[in-house]
Amino acid sequence: MRRVIFMSIMSSLKAVLLLGILTAIFLGIGYIFGGIFGATIGLVIAFIMNFVSFWYSDRIVLWMYRAKRYDNRKIQNMVKKLAERAKIPTPQLYIIQMDVPNAFATGRGPGHSAVAVTKSLVDKLDDDEIEGVLAHEINHIKHRDTLISTMAATIGGAITWLAYLFWFGGDQEGRNVVSYLLLFILAPLAALLIRLAISRNREYFADRGGAEISSPSGLASALQKIADAVKQKPAREGSNATAHMFIVNPFTGKAFINLFSTHPPVEERIKRLREME
């Protein structure tokens, strides 16, 4: 119980930190390109994004992947059983039409949460493997990891949108080298740092917690199948800003990208799960 309370407090502190970082980025970029007026516009945009990212980021992410409510009785029963074991309200279940087997959880907390699975996950994994994946995601919800990960996805997407806005809509003759460096190096780097601020340990914690309410072998086998599928055919649809939300990064496939992965190595995760057996 104490651990859950501690995780809840830390989640709230991280949420405040993320909102502050987002505000600072929009203020800085606005001032660089428009002085005080630009900073004012940046502050207004930051306020809107802060409000949206906190209250509606889960809906935005589900909308991005065109997720639909999933009425599969067997999977719904799995979610209900695992939620009861984790002692949280049953999350809503969604399905995504993605060729890569994967899943993610989203929502502000246990009372406002959802689990999304890809069609490929349901088609290609065994029942005990699916249950292991669902247990992992439910553990994220229990410890309120979803609030931070979903907000980070929204913030990363907002910074990317801002970069494109200036690139296509600004006065190119009035820009200088410093402006380009600040916008196209520091801003994406800030988004990257936000994603990296989400501790890799949260995946280990979710693996362990998920294995405790399902089975270590099922989750380990699922991780191996998902990782192999991603290597063979990385996802082409979706935003890389949401990569950290999935149980395995669906966009990975290049060594350079792996250097900045928000996930720990799958091999190490599987090793720890095997040791739990």
> Of 161, 177, 196, which closes a domain?
196
Please check whether residues 26 and 121 belong to one and the same domain: no
Average pLDDT (52-71) is 89
Domain co-membership, 88 together with 210: yes
Residue 85 vs residue 28, higher pLDDT: 85
Last residue of a domain, one of 196, 231, 261: 196
pLDDT value, residue 169: 56
Given this model, what pLDDT does residue 256 score?
Answer: 45
pLDDT at 65 over 80: yes
| Domain final residue pick, 164, 196, 228 | 196
CATH number at residue 248: 3.30.2010.10
Mean per-residue pLDDT, 48-75? 88
190 and 206 together in one domain: no
Same domain, 153 and 125: no
73 and 177 inside one domain: no
CA nearest to 184, candidates 43, 45, 57, 33:
33
Mean pLDDT of the chain: 82
pLDDT higher than threshold 90 for residue 41: no
Mean pLDDT of 18-24: 74
Is 124's pLDDT higher than 90?
yes
pLDDT of residue 123: 95
Residues 76 and 99 in one domain: yes
Say whether 212 is catalytic: no
Q: Based on the domain organization, do 6 and 138 belong to the same domain?
A: no
Residues 136 and 207 in one domain: yes
Shared-domain flag, residues 8 and 138: no
Q: What is the pLDDT of residues 221-271, one digit of tens each?
A: 999 999 999 999 888 887 777 888 899 989 865 544 454 566 888 999 999
**Nearby residues of 270 by Cβ (< 8 Å), 6 or more positions away:** 220, 223, 224
How much is the average pLDDT of 106-112?
A: 88
Residue carrying structure tokens 């989750």? 219
> How many domains, the chain?
2
Is there a single domain that holds both residue 161 and residue 214?
no
109 DSSP β-pair partners? 112
**Residue-range definition of the domain harbouring residue 177:** 2-59+148-196
Tell me which of 129, 131, 137, 203 is the catalytic residue. Answer: 137
46 residue type, one letter: A
